[in-house]
Structures are given as structure tokens and as C-alpha cells.
Structure 1
Amino acid sequence: MFQTEISTIENDTLNRSFEVMLSQLKSKMKSVYHERSDINELGKKRGMPPFVMREIMSVNPFTAIIPKEYGGLGGDVKESIALMSAASYESLALSLTFGINMALFLQPVIKAAQPEAKAAVLKRFVEQQNMGGLMITEPDFGSDALNMRTSYNETDRFAHLTGSKHWAGLTGWADYWLLTARKDTGDGRLARDVDFFICDVTQQDQTIVVEEFFENLGLYQIPYGRNKLDVQIPAIQKLVPEKSGVKLMLDLLHRSRMSFPGMAMGFIQRMLDEAIEHCQKRFVGGKSLLNYDQVQQRISQIQSYFTTVSAYCVNSCKKAGLAKDLSMIGIEANAVKSLSTDMMQAASQTLLQLVGAKGYKLNHIAGRSIVDSRPFQIFEGSNDMLYSQISEGVIKLMKKARQTNLLAFLKSFELTTNASDLVKDLFDFELSYNEPQRKLVDLGKILSRVISLEHLIELANKDFSAKLIDGATVHLRQEIQELLSSFNAKNETRVIEDYQVDTNWLLFT
């Protein structure tokens, strides 16, 4: 009883402190994006004026998830999701900056860094508002991360890392980097496991050379580039995983994917607010756009995204805490990341369609949001790949259970037990264990939506708006039906590589 009372007091203190921080962050964003400058102008220029990050970082947002013993508030995934959501309402680039720092750097450092290195890193984050990022992707190895060629040799005191990394967000900005590499075992061979090292670029022999800054399409405020690694990392800066480096990487990436709804939440809410406001004020044929049935359908679709992502956020706060091992939750993490980012892109496309020509400007939020949200469907795993992995994971479980009926499996699967009742008229069929990849992608999209229905049911049990839950359920069922039509259609078309033969249309006139 006494311990429970202490825990309640600590949670109340955290909540109050975090509410103050969140309020201060929103005030700072209003100042830098709407009073001291114009976000629509900033968004079309590369980089970020120093005063913007200086003012935002003065709130010390990353301390929200830093343990109390290191000077932080002691928060976890809930606080990081809330920060990303607040930021993405104003700037998707800022929200991604938050996500990189918290999900891809701080959380793995808090979880797996050696005590001396952890204390030094967190001290600088608290006192100097430092930033950190993660380097996994290599020029020749994108999603195929386990075959990375960045390698290291080590002594008792140092690890010497050499290699090349690219597309790391905050290239040239971050004070710290988590670097991934495989141990050189001799004779040109590399260990199968992956190791993580904290690189402090402010220290001698840990400088990372940026060979090229990329002209990235969208997210102009975040620098990306190609980096050359030739660094000496002190032994104490090597992360120590509980099991293996691969398990640590999966835990890290799955927790990050479970945090994507934070970036999606504020962004989709902004798309929704912009769409409603525009259609209320825009009159065509003597009535506002909001009175047209097709417009109602489009905006209700964005509303369904808002509701579904809200369910994701609640679910992630429950399941993705730092103390938990997420290395084995690939199906759910992939579903949440893929569908939330697809919804981001779809919401921005809908807003641009509603706004019309004026939205097709770089300094208008509608057009800019399309290019800013598009890469979310690619990084941390291309959505096509993740959808395919979802299907592969489910089929593996079905094989293990010796089950071929998809409905019967969904009824017994923990991620779809309750949702199966909502789609029982659609899924009573036998599933082949050997579906082609294109069908696996379709099936992954379908399964992601069934998992989303499960999340909506759980959210409904918490007394979330019943009207919004009902609307989201209708839209998800409709999408499932459309995707099932694609899944069931026979399509084995192949690329005709010499397609130029007999295809010059002018010869047929």
C-alpha cells in the first residue's frame, strides 16, 4: 500500500511537470513559427534558423524521458509520443527531430549504455541541450541492415570503426551518434551480430566527416547526407545488450515504429483542422464546400485516420515502455508504423485535393505536407516490405498452429481476437502458405487494418468518442473490402523488358 502511494505521488509530479513543459513548448513554437517568423516560409528553405532550435530547446524537451537520477523528469513512451504529437501539428520536421533524438538515440542509450557513458551523455542532454542520432543505413545496404559493411577492430581501450553511412537524420548537426558496425573477425569476414557504439563528435578521434549533404525532397529543415566513419571509440561507449546486438536493434526499431503514431497524430490533426476550416469558408455554387457529399466523405476519412492513430497512441503507451523487450513484436510494430504513415500521406493528399490550386505551392501547408510526409512511408523500413513481413509473420504462426482458415486464426490471435467479430463475414476462407510477394503486401495491408480495429475496440472501452469510433470502423471495413478484392483478383503480370518493340503509337494512326 505504501509503495503504491509513493508511485501515485511520483506519477502526479511527473504529469504536472510534463504538462508545464508541454505548455511551454507550444508557446515557444507559436513564437518562433508564427510571431518571429512564418512557418510557411521557413518550410520551403533548407536548414533551420539558429534562433528556432535555440528557443525550442530552451524548454529542454528531451529531459521528459531522461530518468530522474540523471536530472530528467523520469517519463517514458507516453511523454515522447505527446512531445512528437505537439511538434508535428506545427512542423513535421521538428517532430522527426524529436523522434530521432528520443526513440533512436536516447532510449537505447538509457537502456543499454554502460553507466559511465550513460551518465556523461545524459548530463550533456540535460545541461547543454545536446542532440543525438542513429546511423544504420549504408549506401549499398539500406533495408538489408544485417549485411552492413561498416566494421570495427577493438582493443581493451578502444574500438576502431571504419565505413560509410548515409541518410541519417541530423547529419552534421548531432553532438552524439549511435553507430552500428560488425566486428572484423579476420580474413575479410565480419561477425554476424551487430554492435552499437556512442560516438561523441566533439571529442578528438571521434569526428565524423560529412562527405556530401543531400538535396532531400521535403523535410528541408533536417539535414541528411553521406558520412565517412574512421573513428576511435572508447570501450566504455559500447552498448551492452541484454541478449545480442540484433535483438537490441529490433527492440530499438520496434519501439521507434510504435512511436510513429506520435508524429502522425499531430500531423493528421492539423490536416483535419485545415480541411474543415477551408471547406467551411470556401463557397462554390452558393454553398460551402462542407455541404457537398464528396467533401464530407473525404474529411470523414481524415477523421477516421485521426481516430485510428489516437488508438495507436494509447496502445503504444501501454505496450512500448522502455522496460519492455520489444524485439519480438514485429507484426504489431510493422502494422502501426506502416498504416499510420500511409494515413499521413493520404491525409495530406486529401487536403491538397480540397484546397485546390493554391495548395500547390511550397509555402502552403497542403502541398508541403505531401512531400514532408512521403518519406515516412520509406524510412525505418519501406511500407511494402513491412506489410510483406506482417503476412510472413502471420503465416508462420498459422503454420505452427496448423491452421489454414484465416478467420479461425484471427479469432485466436491476440492482436485480432475481438476485431475478428467485426470482419467475420469477410475472412472465412483458406489461406495458402505460399502466396506470391505481391499478395503478401496486400494481405499485410488487410491484416494491419484488422489489428487497427482491435485497437479501436480497446479505445472505445475507454469512452473515447463513440461517433468517431463508429466512423473509423466503417472506413476501415470499407478499406478491407477493397483490399480483399485486390488480394483475391488474379494478377500475375510481369515486366516486359523489351517493351519498345511494336509499341510506337504513331505507327497505328
Structure 2
Amino acid sequence: MAHSASATQPRDMDTAAFLQHIEAAFARIFSDGLNLMEYLPEDKWLALKEAGLLLPFLDERHGGRKASQFEIQEVLRIAGHYGVPVTLRTGIEGALVLQPLQEFGNDAQIAQGLDWIFNGEGGGLAVTEPETSGAAIAREMQSYYEYTAEDTVYVRAAKYWQGNSQSDFLLVAAKERKNGKLSKTINLLLVPKQYITYEALRSEGLRAVRYAVNRIDTEMPASAVMKLSDSDAAGLRAFQNIFIRSRLQLVGMTHGIMEYIVANTEKFSRSDIKFVEYERSEIARRYQVSQVLYDFTCRHVSPEAPVAHQLMEANIIKTLATEYTYEAAQMLQKLLGAKGFERGHPASNIAIDFRPFTIFEGPNDMLYAEIYDQFTRATAAEKEAGVKLDKNQTLLARLQSDIRFSAVALPERTLPQDVADFLAQHTLGCTCALKKVFAGKIIARLFVYVQAQSDEAARFVLKGIRKDILDCAYCG
């Protein structure tokens, strides 16, 4: 089932021609400029989709391109050259709407969703809630649906901070209620906008992406329900996998924004002042780390393969990619001086627009602690092989036995003695809750260090690791 004749024209191009076509489409569609302080015009966004922007996210059987993680990352990267909101909207509709719609929807739901996406204003994913915004969504979520007849459900939901909040539809995360009790598992509902009210949020940044509080309190056809699995446990894992895949792919967005930062640094800052040149080199080093993470996703993630086993890697990418890109954005704003705060300047809005990336889908500090926990527990493959981790094992021994590191490590990336000594002094079971944050940072940066092809990038990451070691000692 193809969505429209015009959008399927680039589906048979080879990769190089397709990406060149997308770059040309962006240049043409935004040739008269782009105001990132206002909502992205729907006619321009639809024109980008008609040019094939989202085809890498779309299965071949629905009119998309042959599955390629590289192409997914590349369209996100190219979109990043036009600002944070442009690549964010690409990621929302591609990774958080199109991919779950195709994975969990039935034929009728997919047909309707694709029509809205490719011939209308598209859709968004509604998950977080006003009262529990950053809480554990599986436990705290109160949105629900309840069957009132065989073909009718009553839906009551309040959702918060979802992009595309006023589009043609939302994929709404909710629990089924039976006999007055909420189930533990989460399903999705394909909800047309006529059932949804919205209260626009006045955000500090990302004004070009419409955020709102969305509410649903009505009966609707039961055909809206999109069950993720018949099993509660499997359904929750399937729901979590949406965000694991999203985090793995996030580096396409951040890498494009990083390139946007580098380009604006070269365009708007002088290079004949030593401290300015130092700051420019600091941005370049962060870009090199971004390249390592980008290459990892292109090589080790597949849009057709499960990603549940890559939770640690997904959290590493989310934290480091957003941390380094935000730092680079702040440096650029500083180098711009007063221009860095001038409304409408091409680079003035990058830092404020990007800051939420370090918070959304889990604040980075919380995710660093989770990275530590994921590193110190046996992986699914190790459990299947009967491997049990001894809590008295050192972090160094764990690093040496963890295939997630050894599979990507370069032979020349041996650990410096001081880092090895730190890892040898700590066991899997002896780190307090506060130290987990800093230990998680060390593990995340080691993941980059072992696969960094550039010596400069490796030295830069080691500098961060040594600071994290000091912080870990200081907080004790």
C-alpha cells in the first residue's frame, strides 16, 4: 500500500542519489528562509514529506525504501542542518510515530495513519502526563481506556509535552481499565484530532514545534486500540523498545545539529584570537565524539532487528550525544557575544532549543545511574549462557569480559594505568546511589574511548573520564 504517487518517486533511487535528492529538497523548500521562532509551516513540512523525507522510516511494503539504518541516520542529520526543531519533527514522525504505527498497527490503522502522515499534518506520540511528567511511566501512568461495548471504548487521558500536539492524530499511550482497576501494561490508541482538546504550552524554546497539554475524555470506536502484545510483560517490553530505538537513532538528530553548530562557528566567529580558537577546537572535539556515536548506530543497529539488548548503548548515546551537543551550543552562543541572544539570528536559538534534549526521555544524570546498573548486571545473552556476575567482581574485570565493549574496541585503545586502577578498586556491588551517576559517566565515556579512531577524540574522552573519577571520589 503506497501513500501517494509523488512521495514514492525517490523510493527506487540508490542511497547516494536519494540523499542528494533530500538535501536538494531542503534547499529548495526553505530557500526563502526559515523562522525557528514560529511553528514550522505545514505546507513546507508536507512538501518535505512528499519529497521523501520519511521514506527511510517506512517499510517497503507500504511504499518506503529498503531498510537502511544509515539512511535513517542521514535524513535526521541533514534535517539538523536547518535547526533543532526541523530534525526533531523528523524524528518525532519517523521514529516515534511511523515506526510504532507499522510495528503494532493492524492494516486499517496503518492505512489511516499513513494517509494522515503523508497527505495531512501527520501525528505525534503522547506519553508523559502533567502530574507525573518525569516519573516512571509504566507505574505512574493514569491515562486509560475502557470497553463500554464490543466496538466502543471510553478514553480518559491527559498528555503533556508531545510534539505535533495539534496534528491530525496522536498515538496515545494508555492502560486498559477493567472493573475499576488499571492493568500494568501499556497499549497505544490511534486517536484522531476531533477527539482531542489542546492547551498550547508557552515553552522557553522549541517554539517551532507545537507543544501542548492534550486531553481526551470521550467514547470512540474500539478500532482505535493498538495492542502491543497479549502478554502484560511482553507488552511493556514492546513499549520500552519504542524508546530504546528512539534513543539509538537520536544521534542522527544530534549529529546534524552538531554540524549546524560547527558551520555557524566557522561562519560567525573569528579564528585569529587564541581563546576563540581554543573554544572552536573544543567544539571540534565534541563533534569527533559525536561521529563515534553516529558511526556506532549506523553499523550496529538495524531497523529490522530487535533492540531490547541494546538498552545500555541507547542510554549511552542519549546522554553523551545530548551532553556534548548542548555544551557545543553553549560555546557557540558565547562566541557570538550579544548576537547569541538576538532573536532570529541563525545560531541564537540553538542552545535554548537543544537544552530539553538533556532532560526529555529521562534526565541524563538519572540515565547515567541506569547505565551503571545495566553494565553491572548480566546481559540477556549472558543469562541464557548461564553466566552469573559476582558482585565482588571488579569494574575492570567486568569491562574486560563485557562483549558490548570488546565487540567494538580497537586494539590500540588500551586503558591508561590510572583509569585501570580506579576500575580495579571498585566492585560491582559497592557503589552507592550517588556514585552510580559518576561511575555511569565513566562507563559511558569508556564506550566511546575504546572505539575512537581519532587519537584526539580518545584524549578528549579520557580527560572527561579523569574528571568523573575525581567527582566520584569527591562525592564519597
Q: Answer yes or no: same fold by TM over 0.5.
A: yes
Q: CA deviation at 1:122?
A: 2.9
Contact 2:39 2:210 in 1 (8 A): yes
Question: Structure 1 478/98 Cα, relative in aligned 2: closer, same or farther at 3 Å?
Answer: same
Q: CA deviation at 1:135?
A: 0.6
Residue number among 229, 233, 244 corresponding to 1:241 in the alignment = 229
Equivalence for 2:419: 426
Contact 1:404 1:430 in 2 (8 A): no
Q: CA deviation at 1:434?
A: 4.4
Contact 2:11 2:64 in 1 (8 A): no
2:402 is aligned with 1:406: no
> For residues 51 and 65 of structure 1, what CA distance do their matches in structure 2 show?
21
Residue-by-residue CA offset, 1:67-93 (whole Å, 9 max, x unaligned) = 222222233432221111101111210
> For residues 121 and 330 of structure 1, what CA distance do their matches in structure 2 show?
28
1:2-81 pair list within 5 angstroms = 16-33=13-30, 35-37=31-33, 39=34, 42-44=35-37, 46-81=38-73
The TM-score with structure 2 as length reference comes to: 0.87
The residue identity in structure 2 corresponding to 1:220 is R
> For residues 448 and 362 of structure 1, what CA distance do their matches in structure 2 show?
36
Provide structure 1 residue ranges, at least 5 long, that are not aligned to the other structure. Answer: 1-12, 461-468, 492-509
Residue number among 148, 172, 196 corresponding to 2:141 in the alignment = 148
> For residues 196 and 164 of structure 1, what CA distance do their matches in structure 2 show?
14
Q: CA deviation at 1:229?
A: 1.3
1:252-271 pair list within 5 angstroms = 252-271=242-261
Equivalence for 1:501: none
- Of structures 1 and 2, the larger Rg is shown by 1
> For residues 333 and 62 of structure 1, what CA distance do their matches in structure 2 show?
22
1:40-439 pair list within 5 angstroms = 42-44=35-37, 46-126=38-118, 128=119, 130-143=121-134, 144-146=136-138, 147-154=140-147, 155-173=149-167, 175-187=168-180, 189-201=181-193, 207-210=195-198, 212-231=199-218, 232-235=220-223, 237-241=225-229, 244-279=234-269, 282=270, 288-289=272-273, 292=274, 294-397=275-378, 400-417=389-406, 418=409, 421-428=414-421, 429-431=424-426, 433-439=429-435
> For residues 65 and 336 of structure 1, what CA distance do their matches in structure 2 show?
20
The residue identity in structure 2 corresponding to 1:241 is S
> For residues 236 and 190 of structure 1, what CA distance do their matches in structure 2 show?
18
Provide structure 2 residue ranges, at least 5 long, that are not aligned to the other structure. Answer: 1-9, 380-387
Contact 1:14 1:75 in 2 (8 A): no
Which shifted more, 67-76 or 341-350?
67-76
Q: CA deviation at 1:141?
A: 1.8
Question: Structure 1 101/242 Cα, relative in aligned 2: closer, same or farther at 3 Å?
Answer: farther
The residue identity in structure 2 corresponding to 1:479 is G
**Equivalent pairs, count:** 446
1:426-505 pair list within 5 angstroms = 426-428=419-421, 429-431=424-426, 433-456=429-452, 460=453, 469-490=454-475
Contact 1:161 1:233 in 2 (8 A): no
Which shifted more, 366-375 or 316-325?
316-325
> For residues 384 and 74 of structure 1, what CA distance do their matches in structure 2 show?
37
The TM-score with structure 1 as length reference comes to: 0.81
> For residues 353 and 12 of structure 2, what CA distance do their matches in structure 1 show?
31
> For residues 129 and 62 of structure 1, what CA distance do their matches in structure 2 show?
14
> For residues 223 and 483 of structure 1, what CA distance do their matches in structure 2 show?
37
